[in-house]
Structure 1
Amino acid sequence: MKVLKTIGLAMAGLIFLIVIISFFLPGSYHVERTIIVQTDASLPFTLTKDFREWDKWLPWHKLDTTMAKTYSEEQGVEGSWYTWNSQNPEAGKGKVTILKLVENEYIENEMAFDGMGTTIATFTFEPAEGGTKVLWALDGNGKGMPWYWLIPSKYFNLMMDRMVGKDFEKGLAKLKEVCETMPKPEQVAGFDIEERVMESVKLAGIREKIKTADMNSNLFGKWFGQVSQEMQKQKLIPNGAPRTIYYQYGSKQVEVEAAIPVAEIGHSKEVVKFHEMPGMNVLVVKYYGDYNKVESVYIAAYDYIKAKGKASTGAPMEIYITDPGMEKDTAKWLTEIVFPLD
């Protein structure tokens, strides 16, 4: 009995000591690694902002190549997300959401691990000699973690750099390899292009026929404001970047819609209507610059499509990836000009 009592007291003392020591340990951790990629920032930025591209370079996806993954309808914008669910306990399950995105400069993701709280992962892209410096960082402080993990997490904080750092190095090395061996994208009017499958998207928008001369950014700003107000009234969540869709375009009159993607179809009103745009094959021109200087891009894109033996008779659209309210330099405004392919 005396032996058991002694062991019990020793265990209690050890637990007490572990708890006391934990008060003096760091309550957060920071891990970061960098690499130089010998391309401009647009390529590594694209491969990190679009979660569908993570299979090409993220080492944790290799832990279980059959894990279930789901993606938000629109990728590469603030609010985009993906979830994973693996039977492999090393991979587990969780969700990643883009919180902040500055085109070709910065990405901030929230990573939520099932039952284990959240962390913040960031990617920073800076010009460097020979290409682009990519910095991948991870920061955590026990937010959302179950109470019984708070003390053990203090000890894990001391080991996070060793535990995660090597995977960061592997991931960045693979990202560098993919970027530097990837064929350079074709261009139209000096801007990168790509063909892709655009998934169906639910939209809230205002569609009207107006005089071509009356079409300007102030009008579209007013329409987007009205759409946002109606979404708020119906408690609908935005699910992508705002866009304008040009159903008819003439020298005197244009039929155009200013629309915002939504997670769910709402109730159409007199002005704001809800509908679902079907999925389609598209050509996307990644245009940087002032909204009022896109005419030459349209002409060049239609010439390119014709030269490829294809046709585009559907309604083109402009998806405004960069928020002008957040970025004042028009040269950094990214607009995806989308041409449906027949």
Structure 2
Amino acid sequence: MLKILIAIAIILVVAILGVLAYAATRPDTFRVQRSASIKAPPEKIFPLINDLQAWRGWSPYEKKDPDMQRRYSGPAAGKGAHYAWDGNKEIGAGSLEIIESMPSSKIAMRLDFVRPFESTNRADFTLEPNGDSTTVTWAMTGPLTLMFKLVHLVFNFDRMVGGDFEAGLADLKTLAETP
């Protein structure tokens, strides 16, 4: 009986070490990106992203917790605009700050999560004119610690966050295309 328990323990240790070793070989960063074509000029879309209070009209996270607590600081829009939230377990808590704002073409943000886990990522919105439409790309990048690499083995982060980005871009499209 003791030999069986020792054999099981050894198998478990080897399996755990194998999973850890495999996770350690995964990339050290992640990127989630989605794009949408919006029939509106960049000048109409840009303010909807650059003004953080305008996000209430299209952000998928607003729908997930309409009762979340919001705090705005800094300028109303553009570089230095800051937004902090504290919401339900689906939204968590954190903040974002616009760190780069290039009119009608690009907005970059520092995204700090506090809950359910701590992390710092970067979110970028790019707007590229394409005839009578604009291609809007929403991307998020960040580091992957070993713990997050393990989580990524089980959960498809690209599909989870990417689905939110797709929903947000669809709502942004509806808002921007409305006369």
Structure 1 length-normalised TM: 0.48
Maintained 8 Å contact 1:101/1:107: yes
More helix by share: 2
Provide the residue aligned with 1:11 in structure 2.
Answer: 12
Provide the residue aligned with 2:147 in structure 1.
Answer: 152
Q: Which has more radius of gyration?
A: 1
Aligned AA for 2:10? L
- The alpha carbon displacement at 1:157 in A equals 4.6
The runs of 5 or more residues in structure 1 that have no matched partner are 143-149, 184-342
State the alpha-carbon separation in 2 of the partners of residues 116 and 9 from structure 1.
Answer: 34
Provide the residue aligned with 1:165 in structure 2.
Answer: 162
- The alpha carbon displacement at 1:28 in A equals 1.1
State the alpha-carbon separation in 1 of the partners of residues 58 and 126 from structure 2.
Answer: 17
- 2:90 match: secondary structure: coil
Provide the residue aligned with 1:193 in structure 2.
Answer: none
Provide the residue aligned with 2:123 in structure 1.
Answer: 121
State the alpha-carbon separation in 1 of the partners of residues 107 and 151 from structure 2.
Answer: 26
Provide the residue aligned with 1:137 in structure 2.
Answer: 139
State the alpha-carbon separation in 2 of the partners of residues 61 and 4 from structure 1.
Answer: 51
- 1:82 match: secondary structure: strand
Say how many residue pairs are matched: 174
- 2:63 match: secondary structure: helix
Matches within 5 A, 1:190-201: none
Matches within 5 A, 1:49-198: 49-86=50-87, 88-114=88-114, 115-142=117-144, 150-157=145-152, 159-181=156-178, 183=179
- 1:76 match: secondary structure: coil
Sequence identity (%) = 33
- 1:136 match: secondary structure: strand
- 1:71 match: secondary structure: strand
Aligned AA for 1:37? I
For 1:246-288, what per-residue CA distance to the aligned partner results, in whole angstroms no more than 9, with x for missing partners?
xxxxxxxxxxxxxxxxxxxxxxxxxxxxxxxxxxxxxxxxxxx
Misfit runs of 4+, over 6 Å? none
TM-align CA RMSD:
1.6
State the alpha-carbon separation in 2 of the partners of residues 91 and 76 from structure 1.
Answer: 23
Provide the residue aligned with 2:29 in structure 1.
Answer: 28
Structure 2 length-normalised TM: 0.90
The runs of 5 or more residues in structure 2 that have no matched partner are none
Maintained 8 Å contact 1:28/1:154: no
Maintained 8 Å contact 1:95/1:111: yes
